[in-house]
Amino acid sequence: PYYRAMSSFLIEGFIALLKNVPNGSLLLLRSSIENQLKSILFLSQLNISERSYGENFKTLQIHLINNSFEIKKKKECIEILRRHYSKLSAISHSATSVNSYNIYEYYSDLINNTSLESCENSWLDVLDQICRYSTYQCFDSFKNWEYFELCELLNLAFSKTFSRKLAEFFIDGKKF
CA distance 147 to 66: 26
Of 49-58, 104-113, 148-157, least confident by mean pLDDT is: 104-113
- 26-66: pLDDT as tens digits: 999 999 999 999 999 999 999 999 999 999 999 999 988 88
Indicate the pTM of the whole model: 0.80
pLDDT category of residue 13 using cuts at 50, 70 and 90: very high
% residues pLDDT > 90 (the chain): 63
From residue 176, how far is each of 71, 81, 90, 119, 166 by CA, in Å? 14, 21, 34, 29, 8
Of 75-79, 85-89, 99-103, 150-154, least confident by mean pLDDT is: 99-103
Please give the mean pLDDT across all residues of the chain.
87
Give residue 68's pLDDT.
85
Selected residue with higher pLDDT from 24 and 107: 24
CA-based R_g, the chain, Å: 18
Contact assessment for residue 44 and residue 63, using Cβ atoms and an 8 Å cutoff: yes
